[in-house]
């Protein structure tokens, strides 16, 4: 009897073991995804023992990892962005609160820290999207507005070290392990992985088979070497020089395009002290690096000093004296027999093209984020929610970018539906959430079909 | 677009490529303690003790664990006093602050000229 009971016990254990072994194992999170997740947590939460700011204080996921005055208006008064307003140690020479609030420009001591009251630049906050396509150049990594944003080896990996020193200190003494702590090597690896994971991972291949008449014409002007001439420096609407002009390894390039010479710049109009920004190096060359324009339409204001509010204005800049008299403008004029000279309809057409490719990128990014919310491996619900929320921001942007210029009304309707479904999914879990997200992705695809031949 | 434009642009690119080292940000470098500069400490830098300085020829001998290296400073070389160890704010410096016996970190460019020097100081 006792033997039979023992046999039953062994049988039960064996059965359970076999049953467990037969169950499909939950796939483990791939190492590269783990690094990105770690980097994401650091990017959004880590203050590096400083004044309370994180990377995401300025690079907001809700605002395309950049920062605009409109978004700043929604922040509470104790947001760490405004630390200079409530931390007495940072009240002087750390930021200009008025310029942050009105123009979303932050203070950078690009030329040194010896004369804090007079030697500084006021710069907008560039987005961190599509960095994988825009950082590489023949001269090494190009980071920040003028290509020299990172200390150490100048890489995107090192960028966080300089950012912590410039923007995170508790006091202007900026003593490591007193006013902040420097990121560790592991943290830099993770932050780099996360930043490189954001946005496009490769450039477009122009021309795209666009369906919108005006945007399609804008694309022609953009590419045309005797008309818009845009593609020479923004090859395939990215951030790199045309390899047929600048050589196969040129990558991202710096130019002095004369933005600093624009009259009536908003920051100057405020009457606040805004020293001229001399760009790359110290003393500077007047050059700034080329940003990708796929991401432009929803990441204004434009240029390093946020001097132009609209995408139409940014295109029109290349028509004006500031550009055409600049070293870059003169290079173009000398080579082509004249500066850039577009009429109003042509400016609007190029801007429409930029709006459409931006909306298409938002759709792609939104769809990818929704897909990532349901991976084959297990992710926690909070992270899933954050991915769906981020997808919502992308879809919302695509609506604004198109509707803002009366483009693709039918697609806008579908995008609004997609946004609504994604938002609704946040109220559910499990299969219902999954279904709503799948429905949102269908709407996104339908919107895309209305904008471009697939 | 004429051939001249192609030629000018290609020339510009070549100039950029040949103009020297990577475009790193040197101003925040001041606040990074000796041996902590990301991506360059222990690879592109020499950390050791100054055993000789020649202010006229702008050169300096630094002894590290491997041996003695003579380094040459140029006009664009930046100097920083690293006072982190004493919880004090780091400062800009000059070559005159490079003194025999001081601990330094020297960042070399690809052409072996000195990008920056960090001098440990109280």
Could you tell me if A385 and A283 are in contact, meaning their C-beta atoms sit under 8 angstroms apart? no
Read off the tokens for A425. Answer: 């999914």
Read off the tokens for B110. Answer: 């690809």
Helix (H, G, I), strand (E, B) or coil at B60: strand
Read off the tokens for A271. Answer: 């009457």
Are residues B32 and A147, on separate chains, in Cβ contact within 8 Å?
A: no
Identify whether B25 is part of a domain: no
B42 pLDDT band (50/70/90 cuts)?
confident
Specify the pLDDT at position A20.
47
Neighbour count for residue A374 (Cβ, 10 Å): 14
What are the distances in angstroms from CA B39 to CA A46, A161, B22?
21, 11, 12
Identify whether B22 is part of a domain: no
Neighbour count for residue A342 (Cβ, 10 Å): 18
Identify whether B81 is part of a domain: yes
Q: Rounded distance, CA A367 to CA A443, Å? A: 10
Tell me how many degrees the CA angle A347-A351-A355 measures, rounded to the nearest 5.
170
SS in 3 state form for A61-94?
HHHCCECCHHHHCCCCCCCHHHHHHHCHHHCCCC
Q: Is A137 left (phi over 0), alpha (psi -120 to 50) or beta?
A: beta
Read off the tokens for A290. Answer: 């080329």
Are residues B28 and A139, on separate chains, in Cβ contact within 8 Å?
A: no
Helix (H, G, I), strand (E, B) or coil at A148: strand
The residues, ordered by sequence, that sit 6+ positions from A228 with a Cβ below 8 Å of its Cβ are A221, A222, A340, A342, A346, A350
- Closest by CA position to A450, among listed A210, A206, A205: A210
Is B12 within 8 Å of chain A by CB?
A: yes
B112 pLDDT band (50/70/90 cuts)?
confident
Q: Rounded distance, CA A177 to CA A199, Å? A: 33
Separation in Å, CA of A110 to nearest CA in chain B: 6
- Closest by CA position to B60, among listed B73, B48, B47: B73
Residue B83's closest chain A neighbor by CA? Answer: A175
Please state the separation of Cα A83 from the chain's center in Å.
23
Residue B3's closest chain A neighbor by CA? Answer: A335
Q: Which residue reads 């609209």 in tokens?
A: A310
Q: pLDDT tens digits, residue range B4-41?
A: 555 555 445 444 443 445 678 889 999 999 999 999 98
Separation in Å, CA of B111 to nearest CA in chain A: 14
- Closest by CA position to A274, among listed A307, A300, A308, A322: A307
- What's the complex ipTM? 0.89
Q: How far apart are the first and last CA of chain A?
A: 73
Q: Rounded distance, CA A233 to CA A250, Å? A: 10
Read off the tokens for A389. Answer: 């929320």
Facing A111 at nearest CB: one of B1, B27, B84: B27
Are residues B5 and A335, on separate chains, in Cβ contact within 8 Å?
A: yes
CATH at residue B52: 2.40.50.320
Which residues in chain A are closer than 8 Å to B29, comparing Cβ atoms? 151-152
Q: Rounded distance, CA A241 to CA A313, Å? A: 22
Specify the pLDDT at position A284.
93
Please state the separation of Cα B4 from the chain's center in Å.
38
Spell out, as residue ranges, where chain A has pLDDT lower than 70.
1-27
Query: What are the domain boundaries of chain A?
Result: 31-197, 239-345, 347-448
Which residues in chain A are closer than 8 Å to B36, comparing Cβ atoms? 176, 182
Element (H, E) at B113: strand B113-120
Is B45 within 8 Å of chain A by CB?
A: no
Tell the CATH superfamily of the A347-448 domain: IL-4 antagonist (De novo design) like domain (1.20.120.660)
Q: Which residue reads 């100054």 in tokens?
A: B50
Q: Which residue reads 């000796």 in tokens?
A: B34
Beta partners for residue A184, in sequence order: none
Facing B39 at nearest CB: one of A142, A147, A158: A158
Separation in Å, CA of A166 to nearest CA in chain B: 7
Q: How many domains does chain B have?
A: 1
Please state the separation of Cα A210 from the chain's center in Å.
24
Specify the pLDDT at position B1.
46
Identify whether B68 is part of a domain: yes
Are residues A139 and B23, on separate chains, in Cβ contact within 8 Å?
A: yes
Q: Does domain A31-197 correspond to CATH entry 1.10.760?
A: yes
Most B CBs within 10 Å: which of A48, A49, A111, A335, as the mutation test of the B interface? A335
Which residues in chain B are closer than 8 Å to A188, comparing Cβ atoms? 38
Are residues A150 and B24, on separate chains, in Cβ contact within 8 Å?
A: yes
Identify whether B93 is part of a domain: yes
Are residues A334 and B26, on separate chains, in Cβ contact within 8 Å?
A: no
Specify the pLDDT at position A380.
87
Range of the domain at B78: 32-120
Could you tell me if B22 and A138 are in contact, meaning their C-beta atoms sit under 8 angstroms apart? no
Q: Rounded distance, CA A43 to CA A314, Å? A: 30
Residue B38's closest chain A neighbor by CA? Answer: A152
What are the distances in angstroms from CA A374 to CA A62, A157, A419, A433, A437?
21, 29, 17, 10, 9
Specify the pLDDT at position B14.
43
Q: What is the pTM of this model?
A: 0.92
């Amino acid at each position: 009897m006792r033997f039979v009971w023992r046999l039953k016990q062994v049988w039960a254990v064996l059965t359970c073991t076999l049953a467990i072994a037969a169950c499909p194992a939950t796939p483990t999170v791939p190492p590269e995804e783990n690094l990105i997740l770690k980097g994401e947590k650091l990017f959004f939460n880590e203050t590096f023992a400083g004044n309370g700011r994180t990377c995401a204080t300025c690079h907001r996921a809700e605002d395309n990892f950049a920062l605009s005055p409109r978004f700043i208006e929604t922040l509470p008064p104790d947001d760490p962005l405004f630390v200079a307003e409530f931390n007495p140690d940072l009240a002087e020479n750390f930021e200009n609160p008025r310029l942050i609030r009105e123009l979303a420009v932050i203070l950078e001591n690009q030329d040194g820290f010896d004369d804090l009251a007079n030697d500084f630049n006021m710069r907008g906050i560039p987005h961190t999207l599509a960095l994988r396509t825009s950082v590489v150049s023949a001269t090494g990594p190009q980071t920040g507005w003028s290509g020299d944003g990172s200390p150490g080896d100048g890489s995107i990996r090192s960028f966080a070290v300089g950012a912590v020193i410039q923007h995170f200190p508790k006091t202007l003494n900026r003593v490591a392990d007193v006013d902040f702590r420097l990121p560790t090597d592991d943290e830099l690896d993770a932050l780099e992985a996360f930043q490189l994971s954001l946005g496009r991972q490769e450039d477009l291949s122009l021309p795209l088979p666009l369906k919108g008449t005006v945007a399609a014409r804008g694309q022609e002007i953009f590419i045309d070497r005797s008309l818009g001439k845009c593609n020479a420096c923004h090859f395939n609407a990215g951030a790199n020089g045309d390899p047929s002009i600048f050589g196969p390894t040129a990558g991202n390039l710096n130019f002095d395009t004369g933005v600093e010479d624009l009259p009536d710049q908003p920051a100057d109009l405020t009457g606040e002290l805004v020293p001229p920004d001399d760009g790359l190096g110290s003393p500077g060359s007047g050059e700034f690096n080329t940003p990708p324009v796929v991401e432009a339409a929803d990441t204004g204001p434009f240029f390093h000093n946020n001097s132009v509010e609209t995408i139409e204005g940014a295109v029109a800049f290349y028509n004006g004296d500031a550009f055409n008299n600049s070293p870059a403008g003169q290079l173009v004029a000398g080579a082509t027999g004249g500066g850039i000279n577009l009429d109003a309809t042509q400016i609007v057409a190029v801007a429409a093209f930029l709006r459409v490719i931006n909306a298409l990128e938002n759709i792609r990014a939104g769809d990818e984020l929704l897909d990532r919310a349901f991976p084959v491996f297990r992710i926690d619900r909070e992270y899933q929610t954050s991915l769906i929320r981020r997808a919502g921001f992308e879809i919302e942007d695509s609506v604004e970018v198109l509707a803002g210029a009366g483009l693709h009304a039918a697609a806008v309707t579908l995008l609004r539906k997609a946004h609504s479904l994604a938002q609704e999914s946040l109220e559910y879990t499990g299969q219902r959430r999954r279904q709503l997200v799948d429905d949102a992705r269908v709407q996104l695809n339908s919107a895309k079909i209305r904008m471009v031949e697939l | 677009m004429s051939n001249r434009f192609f030629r000018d642009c290609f020339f510009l690119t070549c100039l950029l490529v040949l103009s020297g080292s990577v475009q790193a940000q040197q101003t925040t470098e001041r606040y990074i303690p000796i041996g902590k500069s990301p991506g360059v400490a222990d690879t592109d830098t020499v950390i050791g003790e100054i055993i000789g300085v020649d202010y006229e020829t702008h050169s300096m001998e630094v002894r590290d664990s491997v041996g003695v290296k003579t380094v040459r400073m140029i006009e664009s070389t930046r100097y920083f006093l690293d006072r982190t160890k004493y919880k004090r704010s780091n400062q800009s410096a000059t070559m005159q602050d490079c003194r025999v016996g001081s601990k330094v970190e020297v960042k070399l460019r690809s052409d072996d000229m000195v990008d920056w020097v960090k001098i440990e100081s109280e």
